[in-house]
Amino acid sequence: MTRVRTTPRTALPTLAAAVGVLLAAALPRARADDEQADKSLVRPARQPAAEFRVPADEMQQIYDEVKTPFKYGIVLRPAPGQLVDCPNVFRGSDAWYMAYVVNTNKVGYETCLARSEDLLHWEPLGPILPFRKETWDCWQADGSLSLLDPQWGGSNRLQSYDGKYWMSYFGGALQGYETDPLSLGIAWTTTPEKAEPWQRLAENPVMTPSQPDARAFEKATLYKSHVLWDKAESLGFPFVMYYNGKQQGPGIERIGMAVSRDMVHWERFGEGPVIDNERGISGDPQVVRIGDMWVMFYFGLNWGPGAFDTFACSRDLVHWTQWDGPALMRSTEPWDKTFAHKPWIIKHDGVVYHFYCAVGNQGRAIALATARDLTASNARPDGDAAK
């Protein structure tokens, strides 16, 4: 008969004590892991009514499709005395181009253009929305490319309307860093790959925070905008703008909508914002089409893990379900230890590229994260070893 060896009764207290020590040591580590995981989670304040809400499994599928766990590093650095910000990337005839903003000596924003052969190494070309004299937008002009092909993994090209390529921008007449009040303007060009000034509409500004139809969430200032060409005109208009506005009083920013038939005359859409987290900032939207889902990338500040990038999903362009899982981007590296935010996300040749504004030990710069580790075959622009 096989004997079962048992632990001597006298050893049980010692064994129990040892187990207790191990558990006590493990619990703080488990709590620390839970707290660390908790810090990465996005916790939106508001969601749409149940009949408009995108199911959790579909939200997870979108997250799995767009996440970029590999941080490549800084791809566009500021010159001395400069801050660079707000990347917008498109495919040109023979290369990639990035519209981005530059703030020199904290005087104000100009929008500039850069060029790349591979999405990794970028060459600045010069301004496309420069400073002007004695105009409503003389010291602030932060441009956002409009009417891009929204198809995820598609052409990533600008689409022309009325023979022109278009850009929305927020502008202002006061020096400083995003000094209130800021309003929205429209500009166009026929040569988007050239670093030369775009033409600004005589009708500018097309939207201001002081207009009679401005809603409560946008009565202080208007910020970053993104214009989508909805060729199905599902809302009755071909051009749909998303933008973040700031309320009067506490500096809370929310994302609202406007619509247009001609890119010149705009009217606000809806009674209030479509993204509202009741505190901090929700801003800098970018909208793409993944399958049958509209996906909005945007950043948050002071209602999640520091400054971070996240997303929301919609089937109708109006009711947006916000992601409530891990942030798409957050601070983890020396170069983005202060802020990691303001997304521009594209898919090309099966690889997702997440451009963002990184603030850290190299100033305010533009960085990149990808879905696949590209550091093995490409020298990191910051010279650090691959993480």
Percentage of the chain with pLDDT > 70? 87
Statement: residue 3 has pLDDT above 50: no
Q: What is the model's pLDDT at position 379?
A: 60
Give tens-digit pLDDT for 247-263: 999 999 999 999 999 99
Give the integer Cα–Cα distance in Å for 37 and 124.
Answer: 38
* Mean of all residue pLDDT scores within the chain: 91
Examine residue 149 and state whether it is found in any structural domain, yes or no.
yes
Give tens-digit pLDDT for 307-341: 999 999 999 999 999 999 999 999 999 999 999 99
- End-to-end Cα, the chain, rounded Å: 57
Cβ(350)–Cβ(70) under 8 Å? Answer: no
Cβ(298)–Cβ(288) under 8 Å? Answer: no
Q: Please spell the DSSP secondary structure of 29-51, one letter per residue.
A: HHHHHHHHHHHTB---S----GG
Q: Burial, 181: exposed, middle or buried (Cβ in 10 Å; 0-12, 13-18, 19+)? A: middle
On the CB side of 181, how many CA atoms lie within 13 Å of its CA? 15
Give the integer Cα–Cα distance in Å for 213 and 247.
Answer: 14
Mean predicted confidence (pLDDT) in 195-209: 99
Distance of CA 143 to the CA centre of its chain: 14
Indicate the pLDDT class of residue 7, thresholds 50, 70 and 90.
Answer: very low
Mean predicted confidence (pLDDT) in 354-371: 98
Whole-prediction pTM: 0.89
Indicate the pLDDT class of residue 233, thresholds 50, 70 and 90.
Answer: very high
Q: What is the model's pLDDT at position 76?
A: 98
Examine residue 380 and state whether it is found in any structural domain, yes or no.
no
Give tens-digit pLDDT for 86-136: 999 999 999 999 999 999 999 999 999 999 999 999 999 999 999 999 999
Examine residue 381 and state whether it is found in any structural domain, yes or no.
no
Statement: residue 381 has pLDDT above 80: no
Indicate the pLDDT class of residue 20, thresholds 50, 70 and 90.
Answer: very low
Examine residue 89 and state whether it is found in any structural domain, yes or no.
yes
Statement: residue 203 has pLDDT above 70: yes
Contacts of 250 (CB under 8 A, 6+ apart): none
Phi-psi map region of 173: left, alpha, beta (phi>0 left; psi -120 to 50 alpha):
alpha
**Could you tell me which of 360, 370, 387, 369 has the C-alpha nearest to residue 78?**
360
Q: What is the model's pLDDT at position 40?
A: 82
Statement: residue 22 has pLDDT above 60: no
Q: What is the model's pLDDT at position 53?
A: 97
The full 3-state SS of 204-253, as one line of letters, equals CCCECCCCCCCCHHHCCEEEEEEEEECCCCCCCCCEEEEEEEECCCCCCE
Give tens-digit pLDDT for 133-177: 999 999 999 999 999 999 999 999 999 999 999 999 999 999 999
Statement: residue 13 has pLDDT above 90: no
Give tens-digit pLDDT for 274-296: 999 999 999 999 999 999 999 99
Examine residue 336 and state whether it is found in any structural domain, yes or no.
yes
Give the integer Cα–Cα distance in Å for 196 and 130.
Answer: 9
- Domain count for the chain: 1
* CATH number of the domain within which 129 lies: 2.115.10.20
Which tokens belong to 33? 């892991």
Give Cα separations from 315 to 130, 147, 183 (angstroms): 38, 19, 29
The parent domain of residue 321 ranges over 41-370
Examine residue 329 and state whether it is found in any structural domain, yes or no.
yes
Examine residue 376 and state whether it is found in any structural domain, yes or no.
no
Could you say which DSSP state residue 197 is in?
Answer: P
Backbone angles phi and psi of 33, in degrees to 5: -65, -45
Examine residue 18 and state whether it is found in any structural domain, yes or no.
no
